[in-house]
């Protein structure tokens, strides 16, 4: 299957280039080309894509504002001429960030990262991805095996994630929260904040919209994710 994509850019040449790159990439399918964020919103409402390539600097509504209005399961790759937006792109869990002018080799690298996220999501839907009960992550120049049951929570740290494992030193790995959220089984792990994913099985105490782990470590539950977390708790409340 192909990954459904839309491209969004107010500059005609940039839009054509990124759209042509999508067309020449075998595992991507171009669904639409949009010249602004409002046009993109209409397209997304009618035909939800798997992945969007979006310019950040656009008139009236920026690409960043557009992304913040979308559901979290749409993968994002930003395209921009301004490097200062890199950190902000990680805060909204973009798969990648491409700096103009964009070479096809850089585009393909980003597209392959999106394909990995997409394939992991597909495995989750067809078969529980934690059937073996662990994941592998890159950290400190090594590949580490991490038992899912031992993960208490995950914290975003700029372009890194910090995986807090019970009784062990936290594991720092270069990846986005988005890719990890897709890879982790949704029946066991929940996003409760832009910067936190928690292991639902390991929760012991909830206090004033905070989850408390060992050593009085507090994980906040933000307003954006509060309703989903409240629903999870209420289903199990006696």
pLDDT digits (tens, 9 = 90+) for 106-157: 999 899 888 888 877 664 444 444 445 788 788 887 888 888 999 999 999 8
Report the CATH fold assignment for 3-126.
Rossmann fold (3.40.50)
pLDDT above 60 for 234:
yes
Query: How confident is the model at residue 131, as a pLDDT?
Result: 45
- CB distance 152 to 165 below 8 Å: yes
Mean pLDDT is lowest, of 43-52, 153-162, 229-238, for 229-238
Mean pLDDT is lowest, of 90-94, 189-193, 205-209, 226-230, for 90-94
Report the chain's mean pLDDT, rounded to a whole number: 85
pLDDT above 90 for 217:
no
Number of helical (H) and strand (E) elements in the chain, helices listed first = 7, 15
CA-to-CA separations, 45 to 76, 87, 107, 151, in angstroms, rounded: 16, 28, 26, 36
Give the percent of the chain with pLDDT over 70. Answer: 89
Measured CA to CA, the distance from residue 29 to residue 27 in angstroms comes to 7
Measured CA to CA, the distance from residue 177 to residue 159 in angstroms comes to 9
Give this prediction's pTM: 0.54
Q: What is the mean pLDDT of residues 209-230?
A: 86
Q: Which CATH number fits domain 134-235: 2.40.50.1020, 3.40.630.30, 3.10.450.40, 2.60.40.1180?
A: 2.40.50.1020
CA-to-CA separations, 172 to 142, 165, 201, in angstroms, rounded: 11, 11, 22
Measured CA to CA, the distance from residue 29 to residue 228 in angstroms comes to 32
Q: Where are the domains of the chain?
A: 3-126, 134-235
């Amino acid at each position: 299957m192909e990954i459904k994509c839309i491209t969004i850019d107010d500059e005609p040449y940039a839009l054509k280039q990124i759209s042509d790159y999508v067309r020449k990439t075998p595992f991507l399918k171009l669904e639409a080309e949009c010249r602004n964020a409002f046009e993109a919103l209409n397209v997304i409402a009618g035909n939800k894509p798997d992945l969007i390539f979006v310019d950040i600097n656009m008139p009236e509504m920026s690409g960043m504002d557009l992304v913040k209005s979308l559901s979290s399961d749409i993968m994002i790759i930003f395209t921009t001429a301004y490097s200062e937006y890199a950190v902000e792109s990680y805060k909204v869990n973009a798969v990648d960030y491409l700096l103009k002018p964009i070479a096809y080799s850089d585009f393909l690298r980003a597209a392959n990262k999106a394909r990995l996220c997409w394939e992991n999501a597909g495995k989750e839907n067809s078969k529980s991805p934690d059937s073996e009960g662990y994941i592998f992550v890159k950290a400190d120049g090594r590949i580490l095996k991490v038992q899912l049951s031992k993960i208490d929570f995950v914290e975003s740290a700029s372009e890194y994630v910090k995986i807090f494992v019970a009784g062990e030193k936290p594991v720092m790995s270069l990846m986005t929260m988005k890719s990890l959220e897709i890879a982790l089984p949704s029946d066991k792990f929940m996003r409760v904040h832009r910067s936190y994913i928690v292991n639902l099985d390991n929760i012991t105490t909830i206090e004033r919209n905070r989850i408390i782990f060992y050593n009085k470590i507090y994980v906040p539950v933000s307003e954006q994710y509060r309703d989903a977390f409240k629903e999870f708790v209420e289903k199990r409340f006696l």
